[in-house]
């Protein structure tokens, strides 16, 4: 019987050793899985940190974009106001040019009526001595297209302070 017990004991010891070996293998595998899980957790935490950084950058860019849009809108309004101011000034310049041409034509009519023909057509006309050839109307009056191309000549002192 002792042999039988010894054999059984040896079988159990063998079985126990086999089980201990399996336990050790499973413990090692669990340790590896824990290490992998820890590394995965660290990687996940790193990824979460990266996502948070990207979100902060995105928020900053969004704020900057909003500021740029506001500045662009403000500049567009200023440009519109400037264009309106320029258009108003252009209209006023055109009005003044038309008024200038009208005044020149009126003065030329008055001069023709008061002194007869212009010096260009009749140098021996009844123009006053102070006026001959002082005003050459065709060169600077009614046919001028803009103020910048208009030649402005002073009136002779005998004709007053007015200018065309």
pTM: 0.41
State the pLDDT at residue 114.
Answer: 65
State the pLDDT at residue 132.
Answer: 43
N-term to C-term CA, the chain: 148
Model confidence over 108-119: pLDDT tens digits?
888 787 655 555
Model confidence over 46-97: pLDDT tens digits?
999 999 999 999 999 999 999 999 999 999 999 999 999 999 999 999 999 9
Residue ranges covered by each domain of the chain? 1-34, 58-164
The per-residue DSSP string of 89-138 comes to HHHHHHHHHHHHHHHHHHHHHHHHHHHSS-TTT-TTSS--TT-TTT--HH
CA 149 to the chain's CA centroid: 36
Model confidence over 1-47: pLDDT tens digits?
667 777 677 777 888 889 999 999 999 999 999 999 999 999 999 99
Average pLDDT estimate for 129-138 = 46
Q: Residues with Cβ < 8 Å from 13, sequence gap 6 or more? A: none
Confidence check: pLDDT of 148 > 50: no
Q: In terms of Cα–Cα distance, which of 126, 124, 95 is closest to 112?
A: 126
Between CA 114 and CA 144 the distance in angstroms is 24
State the pLDDT at residue 92.
Answer: 97
């Amino acid at each position: 019987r002792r042999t039988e017990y010894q054999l059984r004991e040896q079988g159990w010891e063998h079985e126990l050793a086999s089980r201990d070996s399996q336990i050790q293998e499973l413990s090692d595998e669990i340790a590896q899985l824990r290490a992998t899980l820890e590394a995965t957790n660290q990687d996940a935490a790193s990824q979460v940190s990266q996502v948070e950084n990207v979100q902060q950058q995105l928020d900053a860019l969004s704020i900057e974009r909003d500021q740029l849009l506001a500045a662009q809108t403000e500049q567009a309004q200023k440009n519109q106001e400037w264009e309106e101011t320029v258009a108003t000034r252009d209209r006023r310049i055109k009005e003044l040019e038309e008024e200038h041409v009208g005044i020149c034509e009126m003065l030329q009519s008055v001069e023709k009526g008061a002194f007869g023909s212009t010096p260009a057509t009749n140098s021996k006309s009844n123009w006053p001595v102070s006026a001959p050839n002082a005003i050459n109307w065709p060169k600077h009056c009614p046919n001028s297209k803009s103020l910048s191309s208009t030649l402005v000549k002073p009136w002779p002192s005998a004709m007053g302070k007015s200018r065309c």
